[in-house]
Amino acid sequence: MSRKSLITLVMSLMILVLFAGCIRPASKVPFPTPSTGEKINTPLPVDQQILNATATALAIMEKFDQPTPTPKPQETTPPVQEGTEDVQTTQETAEATALPTQALTPTALPPTPVLTRPGQYTVHDGEHAYCLARRFDVDPADLLNLNGLTSNSYLSEGDVLSIPTSGSFPGTRALNPHPDTYTVSAGETIYSIACYYGDVAPESIIVVNGLVEPYALSGGQVLQIP
């Protein structure tokens, strides 16, 4: 082959190659081919997922074969409202310390001696003619006349008087109401206190208060008056 023919053939081949490249359709972007070790996660159907979950639950139940323990509910204390705690505490304390209620009865006084009208009487400190007339229920005028006394006569401790056997005191014998409690002042005696009440006998005050001779009293002492 001549040199010219060889050049012509080469040129023809080059033109043919260029023409073929122009009419070749555009190639698509190739997708990567997964390697052998990679897995493609394809979602399972819904029915298959339900069956798989049921099988797993049955397997767990068969393995442990024990019911799940139910926690015991804890007892709770209701909240105490503000301001009622002290009232409740006070009420509980009062109920715990309350004693059975009993009817209160007044303390019974010892029996007092019966007052009688004597024929004669020895005067004690703090007594006078009108006091004795009230005590023995006699007329003061009769008492004075019987003993030769006047309304201004002064009686001394140890004087002996005759007591009238008849007559009565004109008016109310009691000067102050009783039973009563009496607080003793300095210098007072059971006889002067008896005169304060009028118709109370000193012997009754002695018995009720458990006094013993010489029946000395002190200031501030409290006596029960029958």
Question: CA-CA distance, 181 to 126, in Å (whole number)?
Answer: 20
The answer to whether 225 and 111 have CB atoms below 8 angstroms apart is no
For 118-165, the pLDDT digits (tens) are: 999 999 999 999 999 999 999 999 999 999 999 999 999 999 999 999
Three-state SS at 160: strand
As a whole number of angstroms, the distance between CA 102 and CA 2 comes to 156
Nearest Cα residue to 143 out of 170, 116, 124, 113? 170
pTM flag (> 0.75): no
37-60 confidence digits (pLDDT tens): 444 455 556 556 555 655 655 554
Residue 121 φ then ψ, to 5°: -145, 135
Q: Structural domains in the chain?
A: 115-173 (3.10.350.10), 174-226 (3.10.350.10)
Angle of helix 190-197 relative to helix 202-209, nearest 10 degrees, comes to 110
Peptide bond into 214 cis (omega under 30): yes
Q: pLDDT for 82-124, tens place per residue?
A: 554 554 555 555 555 554 445 445 466 678 888 899 999 999 9
Amino acid present at 67: P
